[in-house]
Amino acid sequence: MADQNATLTLPTGEVIELPVLRGSYGPDVIDVSGLLKAGFFTYDPGFMSTAATDSTITYIDGDEGVLLHRGYSIEDLAENSNYLETCYLLWYGELPSKMQKQEFVTSITRHTMLNESLAHFFDGFHHNAHPMAMMCGAVGALSAFYHDVMDIRSEHHREIAAHRLVAKMPTLAAMCYKHSIGQPFMYPRNDLSYAANFLYMMFGTPCEDYTVSPAVEEAMDRIFLLHADHEQNASTSTVRLAGSTGANPFACVSAGIGALWGPAHGGANEAVLRMLDEIGTVENIPMFIDKAKNPDDPFKLMGFGHRVYKNFDPRAKVMKASCDDVLAELGVKDPRLAVAMELEQIALSDPYFAERKLFPNVDFYSGIILSAIGIPTSMFTVIFAVSRTIGWISHWHEMISSPYKIGRPRQLYTGELPRPYRAK
Ligand code: CMC
């Protein structure tokens, strides 16, 4: 809805009116789509001040440290909901009734198994391939199984694809891990919760019973929940862009996994643990802080800073509390925790970080919890991908449900002028 305009004077002297679109909550945005008619594009590398879409799913106020899914705060959901209920909320827009929740959980549980021939795909991966590399390939391969039966214009087909993806991601993730350590794949178990089933497929073997501790199950569920969605981040925007071409959702999610992998995004949780290992002891922290502050050194404090949050990441607060609980419950004494806590204190009191509003983000703590529950570092980003699948697919669904155009950014060309071919 626009009841106000912004006025822009172009270099040609032409004055144009740009509608100001009102959000339901948070900042209004200037609709610049009409600029094209006047022969101009906008220039905003990194989308620093560009809204690529409107959305009803997730709201972030980076200055205040607020994250809402469908209007519910992340703290509220972490306290009172669980991952699958939050998935329902993200996809359908409302919390489920008891019956709806039961049906949803049953549907997800009954879709966890994979077509058996998918298991053979893993034979093609070298045993020490990074699990994220296998994940990109294996999730993309799902499109080979569900392509012909999928009409993305059908709401029902989109819903089935979403259920399949949410259900099968933990199975695939656990297979990536099992392949990397040379153990047999474990079939999913329908009597376990989403989180417990994932842990069972990760750590169980056919040789003996494996029981999942309730504390670990709860921590795992919370990690899934805290990563479920984060509005138009790099991987979600990748899924949307791929989806805007009409591509199959499994292929779109595979593209999202690729985007998530980088250390500036989902790869940060793995990078945090590697950094803590590299720092080693509390005495070495000042040296690493100096490195992070040196503009000529590419080193950054992993798990610090966020494009949107210029205040404490609300997910990090919940994760930190969870981290304390899990370590106490499991009696784990991880020396990296002492380094992490000291690093946090020093960084928070350092003017460099304060001036740039660099606070610990969700990934600063998630790695410590994951490592305490025995998850190897190379699986951290895979777990992020499992959690974020519902966010990716909900945004894809939201886009396809309304009129949309193929995503096609423009550019400012700064290359050669037209010139005739002359052999060198
Ligand atoms: N350590 C040291 N300096 C930093 C850091 C950091 N972690 N992050 C930003 N800066 C500095 C940066 O050098 C720049 O300084 P200056 O103004 O002097 O040039 C200033 O802070 C602004 O940084 P930026 O790179 O322009 O900020 P951005 O919004 O483009 O990048 C970020 C955000 C998350 C990519 C970046 O903060 C970063 O690389 N952090 C470490 C990686 C990380 O933890 N990523 C996980 C994000 S949370 C999970 C998710 O949602 O994906």
Residue 81 included in any domain: no
Ranges of the chain with pLDDT below 50: none
Tell me, yes or no, whether 44 and 99 share the same domain.
Answer: no
Q: Name every residue whose Cβ is closer than 8 Å to that of residue 257 and which is 6 or more positions away in sequence.
A: 132, 135, 136, 139, 235, 385
H/E stretch holding 16: strand 15-21
Tell me, yes or no, whether 44 and 98 share the same domain.
Answer: no
Res 2: pLDDT: 66
Res 1: pLDDT: 59
Give 178's Cβ-side CA count (13 Å radius): 23
Residue 68 included in any domain: no
pLDDT in tens, 160-180: 999 999 999 999 999 999 999
Residue 72 included in any domain: no
Residue 65 included in any domain: no
Res 327: pLDDT: 81
Mutation pick for ligand 1 pocket among 50, 302, 306, 352 (CB with most ligand atoms within 8 Å): 306
Structural domains counted in the chain: 2
Residue 127 included in any domain: yes
Question: Which whole-number Å values give the CA distances from 8 to 4, 5, 13, 18, 409, in the listed order?
Answer: 13, 10, 10, 7, 21
Is the pTM higher than 0.85? The answer reads yes
Tokens 């966010």 identify what position?
A: 391
Question: How much distance in Å is there from the Cα of 292 to the middle of ligand 1?
Answer: 10
Tell me, yes or no, whether 12 and 158 share the same domain.
Answer: no
Instruction: Report whether 140 contacts 251 (CB < 8 A).
Output: yes
Question: How much distance in Å is there from the Cα of 304 to the middle of ligand 1?
Answer: 7
Tell me, yes or no, whether 44 and 144 share the same domain.
Answer: no
Q: How many CB atoms lie within 10 A of CB 404?
A: 14
Tell me, yes or no, whether 124 and 219 share the same domain.
Answer: yes
Tell me, yes or no, whether 47 and 147 share the same domain.
Answer: no
Res 21: pLDDT: 96
Tell me, yes or no, whether 8 and 119 share the same domain.
Answer: no
Tokens 């946090």 identify what position?
A: 344
Res 43: pLDDT: 96
Tell me, yes or no, whether 18 and 144 share the same domain.
Answer: no
Cα–Cα distance, 392 to 249 (Å, whole number): 9
Tell me, yes or no, whether 6 and 113 share the same domain.
Answer: no
Ligand 1 cavity residues, CB under 6 Å: 230, 233, 264-266, 268, 292, 300-307, 356, 358, 361-363
The ligand 1 atom at the shortest distance from the C-alpha of residue 361 is 48
Give the number of residues written for the chain.
424
Q: Domain of 113: which CATH number? A: 1.10.580.10
Tell me, yes or no, whether 21 and 165 share the same domain.
Answer: no
Q: Which domain holds residue 46?
A: 2-51
Tell me, yes or no, whether 262 and 144 share the same domain.
Answer: yes
Tell me, yes or no, whether 98 and 10 share the same domain.
Answer: no
Residue 99 included in any domain: yes
Cα–Cα distance, 363 to 365 (Å, whole number): 5
